[in-house]
């Protein structure tokens, strides 16, 4: 390739995507060039070298943390990607945190385990420039394990368009698993697991005292599993000064304080205009209320939630009188204990319906009636659960906590889980009967009854299950796979080889069963 063309391609590659890839290893040297064969030794050295578009691959081992002040750009992020086993076990040299992004934008932190930091495992804050606080933007914290830290698992402040996803934050000794604060708008907090933290699992606090507008707008908090938090107070999900946001598909259980709280203490305004939909909340016997709305948190839409409690007197919803304005609540499943005065008087569901005009289509149920096994933490809906096919389609998110499309039937299920519809012959439970189900059947031939999902035939897996698959081939919620297989519209007849294979497999099974 002529030199000018090669140079042009390198420039284009650097402008869009990864400019350079560096490596860090405990066995490396900061005098090396940072390549795959000559890695650097320390994370801080890497943080001091990177520029927009650079990627740092961190190999397994224990490290001192790092302090990053450099930013990427929209088409050239700075990325620190940890391989499995890469652990930050000592704070960085500047702040009492493991990984600290100070005024850095367009940065991705992915895959680290951060353990036992004096303050936060991972921290990101906006820049302070010319005596004024400003915002960082487009920071991603993904797939980290942040545990056993003194104050927080993940702490953020003054960051717009933040993404926190797929993290596991646990056992923060003083405060929260995830803390998003200081007026940063449009945060996305999704698919995280947060447990064993003294206060909140997830805390979102706009904090007007920080000097900016004191409101967090358009947050999206979804798909999080939050449990065993709050022995020191707080909530599974705590929202102060959060407006026009969506809280959906979260599972909160064994909460020792509140489940979800919307209120105003530090925010410039109440937490108003929010949608709380398809969450499953099961309060511990020492917990507070499953859903808590206070301090003028008006115009809240509450739909398709499961709100139950093991507490002897507290229950589903505690909403202050000044938060009732504009509130819409319906199609929830709950314990029949609600209040509009902090528990001063307790209303049954019928009394609540009469007094507030809310929840006309909601119903009462227990954990045993609803779930597969709440004691074991399995909050999927059991067969015959009253939450099945009982929700409000208009308010439901398109998929559930595990990505199952909604609705599976004509009407969505209530809660964070959508129970899949059983389709005979759908042996991999993806909602489509296609060649992949044949593979599942083939691999299960000769196995006992119950081996295949959606098996209506029973008995040892064999010809009957094949016939059901063949009869239903091409059906399901999406026929795209059938089209890709050549628009056959029917299952192909088994080949001679396949029939011979089936006969041998069944014969082998019979021999194994003989005494």
Question: What is the Cα–Cα distance from 12 to 109, expressed in whole angstroms?
Answer: 24
How many angstroms from the chain centroid is the CA of residue 36? 33
**Amino acid 393: pLDDT:** 97
Tell me, what's the pLDDT at 13? 40
- φ, ψ for residue 368, nearest 5 deg: -65, -35
Percent of the chain clearing pLDDT 70 (strictly above): 89
SS (H, E, C) 351-403: HHHHHHCCCCCCEECCHHHHEEEHHHCEEEECCCCCCCCCCCHHHCCCECCCC
DSSP, collapsed to helix, strand or coil, labels residue 303 as strand
CB 136 within 8 A of CB 126: yes
pLDDT in tens, 436-468: 999 999 999 999 887 887 888 889 999 999 999
Strand partners, 448: none
Angle of helix 496-513 relative to helix 463-472, nearest 10 degrees, comes to 140
pLDDT at 458: 86
User: What percentage of the chain carries pLDDT values higher than 90?
Assistant: 80
- 316-329 mean pLDDT: 98
The angle at the Cα of 291, spanning 287 to 293, to the nearest 5 degrees, equals: 120
Higher pLDDT, 416 or 8: 416
The predicted structure's pLDDT at residue 137: 98
Give the range with max mean pLDDT: 84-93, 489-498, 505-514. Answer: 84-93
What is the predicted pLDDT for the residue at 16?
A: 46
Residue 241 has pLDDT above 60, yes or no: yes
| Most distant pair of Cα atoms in the chain: their distance | 85
Average pLDDT of the chain is 90
Degrees to nearest 5, angle at CA 250 with 124 and 198: 60
How far apart CA 308 and CA 463 sit, in angstroms, is 46
pTM of the shown model: 0.84
Q: Is the pLDDT of residue 8 over 80?
A: no
CA 70 from centroid of its chain's CA atoms:
29
pLDDT at 4 > cutoff 60: no
Does residue 422 or residue 474 have the better pLDDT?
Answer: 474
3-state secondary structure of 449: coil
Identify the H or E element spanning 369: helix 367-370
402 Cβ contact list (under 8 Å, min separation 6): 417
- Is residue 498 scored above 80 in pLDDT? no
What pLDDT does residue 503 have? 53
Structure-model confidence comparison of residues 504 and 161, the more confident one: 161
Average pLDDT of the segment spanning 130-134? 90
Q: Which has the higher per-residue pLDDT, 384 or 456?
A: 384
- pLDDT (0 to 100) of residue 502: 52
- Is pLDDT of 95 > 70? yes
- Decide the pairing of beta strands 178-181 and 338-339: unpaired
CA separation for the pair 177, 162 (Å, rounded): 16
Domain parsing of the chain, residue ranges: 180-206+216-421, 435-513
* Mean pLDDT in residue range 221-233: 98
Q: Which residues contact 505 (CB under 8 A, 6 or more apart)?
A: 445, 446, 462
């Amino acid at each position: 390739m002529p030199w000018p063309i090669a140079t042009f391609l390198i420039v284009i590659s650097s402008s869009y995507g990864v400019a350079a890839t560096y490596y860090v290893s405990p066995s490396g040297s900061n005098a090396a060039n940072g390549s795959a064969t000559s890695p650097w030794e320390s994370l801080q050295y890497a943080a001091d070298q990177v520029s927009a578009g650079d990627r740092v691959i961190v190999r397994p081992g224990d490290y001192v943390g790092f302090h990053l002040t450099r930013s990427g750009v929209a088409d050239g992020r700075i990325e620190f990607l940890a391989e499995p086993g890469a652990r930050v076990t000592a704070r960085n040299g500047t702040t009492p945190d493991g990984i600290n992004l100070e005024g850095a934008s367009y940065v991705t932190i992915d895959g680290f385990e951060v353990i036992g930091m004096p303050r936060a495992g991972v921290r990101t804050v906006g820049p302070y420039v010319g005596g004024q606080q400003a915002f960082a933007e487009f920071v991603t914290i993904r797939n980290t394990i942040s545990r056993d830290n003194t104050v927080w698992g993940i702490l953020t402040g003054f960051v717009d368009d933040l993404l926190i996803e797929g993290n596991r934050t646990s056992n923060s000794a003083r405060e929260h698993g995830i803390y998003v604060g200081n007026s940063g708008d449009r945060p996305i907090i999704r698919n995280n697991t947060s447990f064993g933290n003294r206060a909140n699992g997830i805390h979102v606090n706009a904090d007007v005292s920080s000097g900016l507008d004191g409101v967090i707008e358009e947050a999206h908090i979804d798909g999080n599993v939050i449990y065993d938090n709050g022995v020191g107070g707080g909530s599974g999900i705590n929202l102060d000064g959060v407006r026009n946001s969506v809280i959906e598909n979260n599972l909160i259980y064994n909460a020792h304080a509140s489940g979800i709280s919307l209120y105003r203490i530090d925010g410039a305004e109440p937490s108003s205009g929010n949608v709380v939909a398809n969450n499953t909340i099961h309060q511990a016997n020492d917990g507070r209320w499953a859903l808590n709305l206070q301090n003028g948190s008006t115009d809240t839409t509450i739909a398709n939630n499961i709100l139950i409690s093991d507490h002897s007197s507290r229950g589903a919803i505690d909403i202050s009188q000044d938060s009732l304005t504009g509130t819409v609540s319906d199609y929830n499943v709950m314990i029949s204990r609600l209040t509009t005065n902090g528990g001063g008087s307790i209303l049954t569901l019928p009394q609540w319906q009469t007094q507030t005009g809310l929840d006309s289509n909601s119903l009462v149920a227990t954990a045993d009636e609803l779930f597969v096994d709440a004691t074991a933490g399995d909050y999927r809906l059991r067969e015959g659960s009253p939450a099945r096919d009982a929700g409000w389609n208009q308010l439901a998110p398109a998929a559930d906590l595990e990505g199952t499309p909604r609705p599976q039937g004509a009407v969505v299920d209530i809660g964070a889980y959508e129970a899949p519809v059983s389709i005979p012959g759908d042996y991999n439970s993806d909602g489509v009967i296609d060649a992949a189900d044949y593979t599942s059947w083939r691999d299960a031939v000769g196995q006992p009854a119950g081996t295949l999902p959606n098996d209506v035939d029973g008995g040892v897996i064999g010809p009957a299950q094949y016939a059901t698959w063949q009869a239903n081939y091409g059906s399901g919620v999406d026929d795209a796979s059938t089209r890709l297989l050549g628009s056959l519209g029917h299952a192909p007849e088994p080949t001679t080889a396949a029939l011979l294979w089936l006969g041998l497999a069944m014969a082998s099974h019979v021999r194994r069963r003989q005494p």
